[in-house]
Amino acid sequence: MTQLGSDPQRTQRTPSAERRLGVLISGRGSNLQALIDAIADGRLAARIAIVISNRAAAPGLERARAALIETLVLDHKAYGSRDEYDRTLARELQARGVALVCLAGFMRLVGIPLLEAFPDRIVNIHPSLLPSFPGLDAQRQAIEHGVKVSGATVHLVTGELDGGPIVMQAAVPVEDGDTPETLAARILVQEHRIYPEAVAFLLTGAWRIDGRRCVPCEPVQERRAKGESQALG
Ligand code: GRF
């Protein structure tokens, strides 16, 4: 398991307008609930400005309504093209000042208009240790492959399916006799733990992208200790 710590000083400096999240869902919304709960407990200093679902029947919408969060259904089938749909998503998210877009079981590929509107500002949770088992049915893929360890990955979204820079991972053992359902349930516990933590880390802004990697910036104190005080001012 890799965990990245956050820099509390940087968190405090982040203006609240930059802590607005937009969450995109298609179904159950248990990861949305994990974000709602983390905000309520004070583990995640953020506000969910809107929850958008491409399915009107997504149970996650009820979770959002119960938390008094604005909801919007944008049914992709009502749009002439994928780009038109993505442009609409981008417009709605930007209209609410969203700083970070969290995909939480959103069963749509994210296209260029949305990626360009939120460069390195779209994050996803996937139920495997990427780069193993991208795409659908990741838990079944892991069992059928015979791996002994799988897990969950939070990653930034790029044009490559489940292929963007990894922000955080948690490992989960695959037990003899696991079914996709039993493994999914064990992985989900870790998803709910690391997703809010990874979102909190991203909101600190104390990271950079280096090639394929999402790298935490060194805290200012450590850089000063290394004699970079002049450069830091
Ligand atoms: C989760 O397993 C997540 O990793 C994957 O889709 C599932 C969504 O579950 N991307 P939920 O809607 O958050 O309960």
pLDDT tens, residue by residue, 44-57: 999 999 999 999 99
Using pLDDT thresholds of 50, 70 and 90, give the confidence band for residue 15.
low
pLDDT tens, residue by residue, 102-159: 999 999 999 999 999 999 999 999 999 999 999 999 999 999 999 999 999 999 999 9
- Asked if pLDDT for residue 12 goes beyond 50, the answer is no
Superfamily, domain 16-119: Formyl transferase, N-terminal domain (3.40.50.170)
pLDDT reported for residue 218:
78
Using pLDDT thresholds of 50, 70 and 90, give the confidence band for residue 17.
low
Query: What is the helix (H) or strand (E) element at residue 173, kind and residue range?
Result: strand 166-173
pLDDT tens, residue by residue, 84-107: 999 999 999 999 999 999 999 999
Which residue has a Cα nearest atom 4 of ligand 1?
A: 126
pLDDT reported for residue 64:
98
Catalytic annotation present for 155: no
Q: Rounded to the nearest whole angstrom, what is the distance from the C-alpha of residue 30 to the centroid of ligand 1?
A: 7
**Do the domains spanning 16-119 and 125-228 agree at the CATH topology level?**
yes
* Ligand 1 atom closest to 103 (CA): 10
- Asked if pLDDT for residue 222 goes beyond 90, the answer is no
* Ligand 1 atom closest to 125 (CA): 4
Which residue has a Cα nearest atom 10 of ligand 1?
A: 105
For residue 207, list its beta bridge partners: 216
**Would you list the domain boundaries of the chain?**
16-119, 125-228
Angle between helices 30-41 and 180-204 (to 10 degrees): 40
Tokens of 212: 């394929």
Q: Rounded to the nearest whole angstrom, what is the distance from the C-alpha of residue 221 to the centroid of ligand 1?
A: 38
- Asked if pLDDT for residue 7 goes beyond 50, the answer is no
The percent of residues above 70 in pLDDT, for the chain, comes to 86
| Alpha helices in 80-219, H assignment, sequence order | 82-95, 112-117, 138-145, 180-204
Name which of 93, 121, 100, 98 is nearest 214 in CA terms: 121
pLDDT reported for residue 233:
38
Name which of 10, 14, 63, 23 is nearest 223 in CA terms: 10
CATH value of 125-228 in 3.90.1150.10, 3.40.50.170, 3.50.50.60, 3.40.50.20: 3.40.50.170
DSSP assignment of 29-71 equals -HHHHHHHHHHHHTSS--EEEEEEES-TT-THHHHHHHTT--E
223 near 232, Cβ under 8 Å? yes
96 near 21, Cβ under 8 Å? no
**Residues with C-beta less than 6 Å from any ligand 1 atom:** 27-31, 60, 104-105, 125-127, 188, 191
- Say if residue 131 is preceded by a cis peptide, omega within 30 of 0: yes
* Ligand 1 atom closest to 34 (CA): 13
pLDDT reported for residue 232:
45
The Cα-based distances of 63 to 37, 43, 53, 70 in angstroms read 11, 19, 12, 11
Residues 120 and 196: their CA atoms lie apart, in Å, by 17
Name the residue with higher pLDDT: 4 or 60.
60
The percent of residues above 90 in pLDDT, for the chain, comes to 85
**The one catalytic residue among 76, 126, 155, 192:** 126
Q: Mean pLDDT in the chain?
A: 91
Which residue has a Cα nearest atom 7 of ligand 1?
A: 105
